[in-house]
Amino acid sequence: MDKKVLNILTEKCSQENIKKLSDLNNPELMKFVAEYTELCNPDSVFVRTDDAKDIGYIRNRAIELKEEMALSIKGQTVHFDGMKDQGRDAKNTKFFMVKGVEFGSHIHSIDREKGAAEIRGLLKNIMLGKQMYVSFFCLGPVNSDFSIYAVQLTDSAYVLHSEEILYRPGYEAIKKDGREKGFFKFVHSAGELENNVSKNVDDRRVFININENIVYSTNTQYAGNTIGLKKLALRLAINKADKEGWLAEHMFVMKVHGPKNRKTYFTGAYPSSCGKTSTCMVEGENIIGDDIAYLRKRNNKIFAVNVERGIFGIIKDVNPDDDFKIWNVLNNPGEIIVSNVLIKDGKAYWQGDGRPAPKDGDNFSGKWNKGKTDDSEKPINHAHNNARYTIRLSDLDNCDKSLENPEGVPVRGIIYGGRDSDTWVPVFQSFDWDHGVVCLASSLESETTAATLGREGVRKFNLMANLEFLSIPIGKYIQNHLDFAKGLDLIPIIFGVNYFIKDKNGRYLSGMHDKRVWLKWMELRIHNDAGAITTPIGMIPRYNDLKRLFKEVLKTDYSELLYNEQFKIRIPENLQKIERIFELYESNVIDIPEMVFAKLDGQRKRLEALKSKIGDYVIPDQL
């Protein structure tokens, strides 16, 4: 072993911990650990293997250091992030860029040297007085061509405990594999703590070095900024996928049951907090993953895996009526972390849980009582809008067996959905792959939510629900999607959904459970078992098919009046959308494939033709 590396490690690590590292037989990893041990300067270093003893140690540390507090339900704990650390910090998340390399204005970047100097400055001695934990994980199932190994350095036992729930262990796999390079590396520090939360949030940074596959995260605890394997790894994976010819997506993976025991696999991309988790969790179907998927081609088909093995989900509105399965897990013993909820007498409360909120308790603002206000005199809710739960998928009885299948599942349908109050119909099918990639996926917009810091309810462009995580130019990313279906025997069908369409009085037109019907319709379409009506934006369901499905699936009567309102083609809104998207691609972004403009233009012409024939708003019967 390199002498300098050994000296640094010997100073901070016990012999036992050094042995755990050297057993991996990977000098590059050792060097990486030593480099950041020296820079961050923790009091000691603990190496976590896949061993139950090590895992238990981290779980206990989180409690001991009050990063988590035990709740009255056995195995459950609560974690609080600071008042100003309740979502992903898009503003301070930046990619290192080499001068002269143009990625386009949508990608937040910082000059590489400048960024490296800034982050080194912030990391210097940041772990003084703390222990640094080193841990290994595998993204995707182990022993698979999807597997990517990752190493996480952090001073937060909460971060590691969360990762333990959410990701597959990697220590033994790495030892066996003998692979020396290609690891994703994450360096995180919560920084100085005050009342157990990151104090210096002004120095919160998430800096991404795609050339070296390293992400740094400082002065933050919120999981979306700190859990290396989640959105930080997604950013690295998008770049790796681009080089290797596969896709890394912000997508769920699920199985939908069709007639005669047919099983059809879907993936779905929705921006945060737009119904992604609740779609793959619907009654009657099976979940494989709720957030991040890798897609690869094999035997001229597309296969997908869940990169994770758990859910870091939004807890708001989880109640026995709307989300029974999650509710059940959260109300039973098990290894679960809830965050940024209200705690009263050891019990967790959150918004939309169907129970009266206690008048006081502990939450992310410290001691809380009804009427408490923040710095700007705004009332503080008992639980945050973006409060979360962290659970293992295997704790759910609807978890699909294929979760750990190294081959993944064959993808037949891909769904794109945003939060859109006035434009898209609740469900529709693209004409073909290219139309789907351009007019659905690359035209996705969504009204903002609490999952990222900033104002809610503003319409934002978010292609493939992946914009925030893109580490390659947008044009290239779209081209990769266009190319992905080339030469396939079975091209997945691309669908659009919108659970948030409203009538002119601002009332939602769909019920919470209607997505179960939309899924069944899409399943039938894939196998040519339902008809459709051709419209300028794609193909929409026929009333009679939906009426039958509503009866079968939800046991409700679906009226033609509602159908016409929901599936009315809103031409002015759709034309405005095309204008917005067209302009965006024309002005801001480099190297956009010609196909984008051609498909958008085609859609515009179809909409205009229908408008001049019938008018602004066209109900399906008129088509």
Q: Give 82 or 224: the residue with its C-beta nearer to ligand SPV.
A: 224
Minimal distance, residue 287 CB to Mn ion, in Å: 14
Q: Shortest Cβ contact with ligand SPV: which residue?
A: 224
Minimal distance, residue 306 CB to ligand SPV, in Å: 13
Q: Which of 139, 280, 281, 451 binds ligand SPV (CB under 6 A)?
A: 451
- Interatomic CA distance for residues 208 and 194, integer angstroms: 27
Residue written as token pair 């060097």: 31
Q: Give 417 or 541: the residue with its C-beta nearer to Mn ion.
A: 417
The half-sphere exposure of 229 on its side-chain side, counting CA atoms within 13 A, is 33
Residue 236 binds ligand SPV (CB under 6 A): no
List C-alpha distances in Å: 123 to 219, 228, 427, 440: 10, 16, 48, 42
The half-sphere exposure of 48 on its side-chain side, counting CA atoms within 13 A, is 30
Q: Give 48 or 388: the residue with its C-beta nearer to ligand SPV.
A: 388
Is residue 40 flagged as an active site residue? Answer: no
Give me the residues that bind Mn ion (CB under 5 A), please: 291
Residue 67 near residue 196 (C-beta atoms within 8 A): yes
Whose CA is closest to 206, among 339, 319, 317, 115?
Answer: 115
Q: Which of residues 59-118 bind ligand SPV (CB under 6 A)?
A: 88
Minimal distance, residue 41 CB to Mn ion, in Å: 33
Residue 431 near residue 539 (C-beta atoms within 8 A): yes
451 contact choice in Mn ion, ligand SPV, none (CB below 5 to 8 Å, kind-dependent):
ligand SPV
312 contact choice in ligand SPV, Mn ion, none (CB below 5 to 8 Å, kind-dependent):
ligand SPV
- Interatomic CA distance for residues 334 and 223, integer angstroms: 20
The half-sphere exposure of 92 on its side-chain side, counting CA atoms within 13 A, is 22
Q: Looking at 222-230, 236-244, 369-377, 615-623, which segment touches ligand SPV (CB under 6 A)?
A: 222-230
Q: Which of 48, 94, 168, 230 binds ligand SPV (CB under 6 A)?
A: 230
- Interatomic CA distance for residues 197 and 570, integer angstroms: 47
132 contact choice in Mn ion, ligand SPV, none (CB below 5 to 8 Å, kind-dependent):
none
Residue 33 binds ligand SPV (CB under 6 A): no
- Interatomic CA distance for residues 544 and 561, integer angstroms: 13
The encoded tokens of residue 258 equal 């069709």
Q: Which of 50, 118, 291, 545 binds ligand SPV (CB under 6 A)?
A: 291
Q: Looking at 11-19, 224-232, 530-538, 594-602, which segment touches ligand SPV (CB under 6 A)?
A: 224-232
Residue 289 binds ligand SPV (CB under 6 A): no
Pairing of strands 214-218, 184-189: parallel
Residue 140 binds ligand SPV (CB under 6 A): no
Q: Give 255 or 276: the residue with its C-beta nearer to ligand SPV.
A: 276
Minimal distance, residue 277 CB to Mn ion, in Å: 9
Minimal distance, residue 311 CB to ligand SPV, in Å: 9
88 contact choice in ligand SPV, Mn ion, none (CB below 5 to 8 Å, kind-dependent):
ligand SPV
Q: Which of residues 160-219 bind ligand SPV (CB under 6 A)?
A: none
Residue 159 binds ligand SPV (CB under 6 A): no
Residue 501 near residue 274 (C-beta atoms within 8 A): no
Residue 306 binds ligand SPV (CB under 6 A): no
Report the interhelical angle of 3-12 vs 15-22 (nearest 10°): 140
Beta strand extents in 509-576 (DSSP E only) = 533-535, 538-540, 569-570
- Interatomic CA distance for residues 598 and 594, integer angstroms: 6
Q: Which of 82, 169, 224, 417 binds ligand SPV (CB under 6 A)?
A: 224
547 contact choice in ligand SPV, Mn ion, none (CB below 5 to 8 Å, kind-dependent):
none
Beta strand extents in 393-548 (DSSP E only) = 409-417, 427-429, 445-447, 459-461, 493-497, 533-535, 538-540
223 contact choice in ligand SPV, Mn ion, none (CB below 5 to 8 Å, kind-dependent):
ligand SPV
Residue 316 binds ligand SPV (CB under 6 A): no
Catalytic option among 40, 274, 399, 439: 274
Q: Give 402 or 462: the residue with its C-beta nearer to Mn ion.
A: 462
In angstroms and rounded to an integer, the radius of gyration of the C-alpha atoms of the chain is 24
Here the contacts of 3-9 (C-beta below 8 Å, separation 24 or greater) are 4/34, 5/30, 5/31, 5/34, 8/34, 8/37, 8/38, 9/33, 9/34, 9/37, 9/45
Residue 158 binds ligand SPV (CB under 6 A): no
What percentage of the chain's residues is helix, strand, coil (to nearest 5)? 35, 25, 40
Minimal distance, residue 88 CB to ligand SPV, in Å: 5
Minimal distance, residue 225 CB to ligand SPV, in Å: 8
Minimal distance, residue 204 CB to Mn ion, in Å: 19
61 contact choice in ligand SPV, Mn ion, none (CB below 5 to 8 Å, kind-dependent):
none
Whose CA is closest to 28, among 230, 212, 238, 240?
Answer: 212
Please state whether 237 falls in left (phi above 0), alpha (psi between -120 and 50) or beta: alpha
Q: Give 88 or 94: the residue with its C-beta nearer to ligand SPV.
A: 88
Q: Give 54 or 291: the residue with its C-beta nearer to Mn ion.
A: 291
Q: Which of 223, 233, 302, 478 binds ligand SPV (CB under 6 A)?
A: 223
Q: Which of 198, 272, 430, 471 binds ligand SPV (CB under 6 A)?
A: 272
Amino acid at 267: T
Q: Which of residues 469-488 bind ligand SPV (CB under 6 A)?
A: none
349 contact choice in ligand SPV, Mn ion, none (CB below 5 to 8 Å, kind-dependent):
none
Q: Which of residues 488-507 bind ligand SPV (CB under 6 A)?
A: none
Residue 207 near residue 92 (C-beta atoms within 8 A): no
Minimal distance, residue 451 CB to ligand SPV, in Å: 4
Residue 239 near residue 471 (C-beta atoms within 8 A): yes
Q: Looking at 223-231, 501-509, 537-545, 579-587, which segment touches ligand SPV (CB under 6 A)?
A: 223-231
Q: Who's near 48: CB < 8 A, 6+ residues apart? A: 54, 55, 57, 58, 133, 134, 135, 136, 160, 171
User: Residues in contact with ligand SPV, total (CB under 6 A)?
Assistant: 9
Minimal distance, residue 542 CB to ligand SPV, in Å: 34
Contacts with ligand SPV by CB under 6 A lie at: 88, 223-224, 230-231, 272, 291, 312, 451
Positions marked catalytic = 274
